Amino acid sequence: MSTGPVRILVSDPISEEGLDIFRNAGFEVTVKTKLSPEELKKELASYDGLVIRSGTKVTADVLEGATRLKVIGRAGAGLDNVDLTAATNRGIVVMNTPGGNTITTAEHTVSMMMSMVRKIPQANASNRAGKWEKSKFMGMELSHKTLGILGMGKIGSHVAHVAQGLLMNVVAYDPFLTPEMAEKQGVTPVSLEELFTRSDVITVHTPLTPETTNLISRSTIEKMKKGVYIVNCARGGVVNEEDLAEALKSGQVAGAAFDVFTQEPPSPDHPLLKIDSFISTPHIGAATKEAQENVALAVADQMVDYLARGIIRYAANLPSIPPEDAGRVAPYQHLAEVMGSILSQIAKEPISKISVEFSGEAASLPTSIITISALKGILSPILDTRVNEVNAPMLAKERGLEVVESKSTQQGDYVGLLTLRATTAHGVHHIAGSIFQKKDFRIVSLDNLPVEVIPDPVMLYLTNQDQPGVVGLVGTLLGSHGVNISRMQFGRDHPGGKALSMIGLDTEPAMSVIEEIRKNSKVISLKLLRIPSLMR
């Protein structure tokens, strides 16, 4: 367990304003750039958060000793320099800052496109060499030409908007682009093959995935118009660089402009760098003062929210929560984790199945992240590894735990109700809870007994025969051992039947006290519950 202030390592340069956000939150910030993989691996052992840009490569090996690390924040959008699987397995949240460099990268794309078709870099180099070669640099107008955009995320969409201002016809391919979204943005949705055959200029705005690697290669270039222009300010590897070099030499591609390469920096003898119709920049698409300040402020705010308040935004290895739902989801997440922790501790046998039921208002929320919080609560008391929202689903799967969600919009006695059922070899344990006044929560049913329980960090879960004297005995024994009761909450099925008590305690009693209570013949079961999420 780490002690002292939260420690942040910044391994790539970010603006001073971003660093100040960490410092103002009381965090300790260390800036160490250009670390070797071995140096980074050694450093990470003593930090809670890591801030990176594109320069730092966070591999599985680098994370091997990062036992304290809780979050990696990428000041930018791309995450191909982070091993997401390794981070997820270790329960490390990986977050980025989508949108912080949208305008900057889109403007750079359009600048590259215009420089490429008008041969501005080549003409500038010629002038600097003392030449005046007006006839050599014949260009092409963009007005009324067809621009094909591969990927209509934030950057691709802004490129489309700017291109329309240049009077270009815009066609786009994106597997998630609906006709309604395309119409709203004024673009024509087309198939991938149609984009290749129709476009005068093609610009890439996709992440690098197994599906997009070599998306533009010899076979697809052959489908394009002769004299097509290609721009890549997204990710190296989406365009096969050797195939493009051959197409530039043959004239099939009239020009290309890259801000990114498969290997950065590219080798001096890279074939593209030897071709006059190819222009490039050193991965500076997001390199404006405005963008760097935006992403630095955003990543610092997001990391402070998580490390100080447990709020997760823009995580790449967690389900996303729409900003407008975050305020309503957070209380249910907390409730789900507390309920899961209680359920796990009162179950007498290993749990094989968890059913998560959402009713009323709760069913209208993004439920997957709430289910993950329930899993975190269930698994934390029984595992000796760190469990959080990131690795809880993976740990549940490894243990063969079946997880089932169900929803009902019907309201019963509560506006919104969350119910967990844990199936074991000898039966099903049940717990239900609800939110009151938008943020407070109560346990309203436990093992089919109606209750109204405000959970405490330390509690006794007592079931007994509903007869006089049991609760008094418990209170007397606890008091005689210096254990103060914060509150006592009760439920029963019927007079003289089975009774349930949830007893909040200020301190944890010794096991000898627990055993003394258990000796009473009227006590059916007694369990000491610890709720870590309430101890924060």
Q: Does residue 97 contact residue 54 with C-beta atoms inside 8 Å? A: no
Cβ count within 10 A of residue 488:
15
Residue corresponding to tokens 């593209």: 272
Alpha carbons 405 and 396: distance in angstroms, whole number: 14
Q: Exactly one of 205, 235, 270, 429 is catalytic; name it.
A: 235
Q: Please state whether beta strands 253-258 and 228-232 pair in parallel, antiparallel, or not at all (unpaired).
A: parallel
Structure-token pair, residue 197 = 């055959």
Alpha carbons 294 and 75: distance in angstroms, whole number: 9
Q: How many helices (H) and strands (E) does the chain have?
A: 16, 22
Residues 6+ apart with CB under 8 A from 63: 41, 44, 69, 83, 86, 87, 90, 92
Q: Which one, of 527, 498, 88, 90, lies nearest residue 344 by Cα?
A: 527
235 assigned to active site: yes
Q: Does residue 244 contact residue 274 with C-beta atoms inside 8 Å? A: no
Alpha carbons 500 and 349: distance in angstroms, whole number: 20
283 assigned to active site: yes
Which SS3 state, helix, strand or coil, does residue 181 take?
helix
Question: Which secondary-structure segment (H or E) carries 179?
Answer: helix 179-185
264 assigned to active site: yes
Which SS3 state, helix, strand or coil, does residue 289 take?
helix
Q: Exactly one of 68, 283, 313, 530 is catalytic; name it.
A: 283
Residue corresponding to tokens 């087309």: 190
Q: Exactly one of 193, 264, 349, 402 is catalytic; name it.
A: 264
In Å, the largest CA–CA distance within the chain is 105
Structure-token pair, residue 320 = 């996303």
Active site residues: 235, 264, 283
